Chain A
Amino acid sequence: MTPMIETRGLSKRFVKRLDLAAKIAERLGADVREEVVSAVDRVDMTVAEGEAVGLVGESGCGKSTLGRMIAGILPPTEGRILFRGVDVATMDEREGKKAALQVQMIFQDPFASLNPRMRVEDIIGEAPVIHGIVAPRDKADYVEEVMRRVGLDPDYRRRYPHQFSGGQRQRIGIARALAVKPEFLVCDEAIAALDVSIQAQILNLFMDLKEALNLTYLFISHDLGVVKHISDRVVIMYLGRVVEVADTEKLFAAPNHPYTRALLNEVPRLDLRRRNYQPVVGEIPSPLDPPSGCHFHPRCPHATRRCREEAPVLKEIAPGRLSACHLNDGT
């Protein structure tokens, strides 16, 4: 079956432009160069219809950048994004707009992503009217329906975002995304800023909506407990590259990649009391100057000379399981 979303060799490089001081220094003959960050480096991944895929990795590894490219709000530097098998770059304007509505994004900070001067009814109702999803005269009823769906009291429709709690604001963000009837939601740390008891409410809402509306998710989170709970499959990233892909259950039962293993080891767990932490050594390297070969080699307990010289490719190690580590070529 054609996946709903597929990326092929998708890359994003950000160029840190020289500031004035650096430009002057360059004129005077100093060796300064524009720095390039490979935020996302040739990523191939798929998300099937109705699936929830978790995207995990440490800060700065490129999760948000990948998510924003998939959501169509950040142009890739290289590579392709296929929506239901069609390259979005080759779509005409009408098709492109349609595909853009189908993929919506939900952000970590619900406050920053909501216009403080708009009433909730307009935040939720404006886009569907503009895109002809509802007629202007049906807007009020439609807003009411969407608000109910995400557990907001429609009586609050004339309020402004600052009059809501964090959890309610996240519900408004979800309602705004749902109002244009998307098939695919990219949730970027969508519950990270919420209190524990509120996180459970929003996670339940995501699971209910998935059932009710047959939604497909890319669920970006640094919280492995949350990812384990909500995802069917998990993609692990390290410094711009995908290092492992697996069914959630298999990944947590038997992680393959040394980085995944380290990550799972570090997760605090309620059932591990007064444990002896055995930390992974070393810092997360700077993406401006990533290590040669396998990016993980300075922190990897199994690193060999080959790891320092040659980047491992992501390949199938079992049906539906991918990993990028030289150890899998072992004897």
Chain B
Amino acid sequence: MAGTGPTLRVEGLRTHFFTNDGIVKAVDDVSFAVDRGQTLGLVGESGCGKTVTGFSVLGLVDPPGRVTDGRILFNGEDLLTAGEERLRSLRGNRIAMIFQDPMMTLNPVLRIETQMVETVLAHQDVDRDTARQMARDAMGKVGIPSPDERLHAYPHQFSGGMRQRVAIAIAFINKPDLIIADEPTTALDVTIQGQILFEAQKLCRETGTALIWITHDLAVVAGLANHICVMYAGRIVEEGRLDDVLDWPIHPYTRGLLNSVPSQKKSGERLEQIPGMTPSPLNLPPGCAFKTRCPRADHVCDAEPELREAVPGRRIRCFHPHTQGTP
């Protein structure tokens, strides 16, 4: 079914919220692509537009929000012109989302089995028994012991980590081409996070599913992704191969973020900090939105930097990138 080209290509996406206080440009000219079997890490601090990007791809943005511009090409098909019915048939089938709160996926009043079987029957031409068997297999694959028993339980009978694993099992059950995971481990403990990362990684390898992993945690992305997009105030400011970006960040914001991670410094040493705070989305400074916090800012930055290829394979949005000298 997939032709050539990436599983998902997003071009010049803009999603704005028309609120009473003004226009929030939550996503403002965002472009990226993810290939079959690849994992893209989408990172940035809270409010930078990660979730809205994911929701835009799935056609889940509600008023006062609206996609105002761009193209979302899924296996070559533009989802922005596809219509609600087509989107509904793709969601949960060819494209799935895993949310930070698994109860966004799970229905509290239905048994796990019912939810999984319904997800299969809605999109695949199989009988109920086959669907049941698929549900059992899916539960086993995400490491839930005694799946037969567990399938009859309700979501509240599971721990947070187990609920998230069930949500992952549901996301993978129809072997989608694309999964968007929005901070699915942020609320979980490290040992449980490790389990979930392990399962997601394994399932993607087995099924060739393209994965977009949204997180604020650079270390999680380091362990998982091939490619990374760093967002700030609704825009991608740096994009490239994971190793390149982490080893040699050239945008001042990416650099600041990486340097502020404690493990980058010797214990007890002062951390490098990015001064100030994220600007209000209703009140972005004109020109480069990072200007007020950037050590390299000057009058040139009063203009708006375009996304450009600064070194081969690396796109950034900055007038004074760290392209010279040592990493």
Chain B interface main SS type = helix
Separation of A284 and B158 alpha carbons in the complex (Å):
12
- Cross-chain contact A222 with B273 (CB below 8 angstroms): no
- Cross-chain contact A278 with B268 (CB below 8 angstroms): no
- Closest Cβ neighbor of A273 among chain B residues: B222
Q: How many A-B residue pairs have CB under 8 A?
A: 138
Of A59, A203, A222, A280, the residue contacting B271 (CB under 8 A) is A203
CB-CB contacts below 8 Å: A230-286 with B: 230, 248-249, 262-263, 265-281, 283-284
- Cross-chain contact B262 with A203 (CB below 8 angstroms): yes
- Cross-chain contact A273 with B242 (CB below 8 angstroms): yes
Q: How far is the CB of A231 from chain B (nearest CB, A)?
A: 8
- Cross-chain contact B190 with A267 (CB below 8 angstroms): yes
Is A225 an interface residue, CB under 8 A from the partner? Answer: yes
Q: Which of B8-16, B115-123, B191-199 contacts A (4 or more CB under 8 A)?
A: B191-199
Separation of A106 and B267 alpha carbons in the complex (Å):
22
Range of interface residues on chain B? 35 or more
Chain B residues, Cβ within 8 Å of A197: 45, 256-257, 260, 273-274
- Closest Cβ neighbor of B216 among chain A residues: A196
**Interface residue total, chain A, C-beta cutoff 8 A:** 45
Chain B residues, Cβ within 8 Å of A199: 260
- Cross-chain contact A280 with B264 (CB below 8 angstroms): no
Separation of A230 and B224 alpha carbons in the complex (Å):
27
- Cross-chain contact A269 with B161 (CB below 8 angstroms): no
Given A204-B273, A279-B195, check contact A269 B263 (CB 8 Å). yes
CB-CB contacts below 8 Å: A21-70 with B: 58-59
Separation of A279 and B191 alpha carbons in the complex (Å):
7
- Cross-chain contact A200 with B195 (CB below 8 angstroms): no
Chain A residues, Cβ within 8 Å of B277: 165, 167-168, 198
Is A226 an interface residue, CB under 8 A from the partner? Answer: yes
Of B46, B191, B201, the residue contacting A266 (CB under 8 A) is B191
Is A228 an interface residue, CB under 8 A from the partner? Answer: yes
* A contact set with B: CB distance below 8 Å: 58-59, 165, 167-168, 195-201, 203-204, 207, 222, 224-226, 228-230, 248-249, 262-263, 265-281, 283-284
Nearest 6 interchain pairs by C-beta: A200-B260, A268-B219, A277-B198, A229-B262, A266-B194, A197-B274
* B contact set with A: CB distance below 8 Å: 45-46, 143, 159, 161-162, 189-195, 197-198, 201, 216-220, 222-226, 242-243, 246, 256-258, 260-265, 267-268, 270-275, 277-278
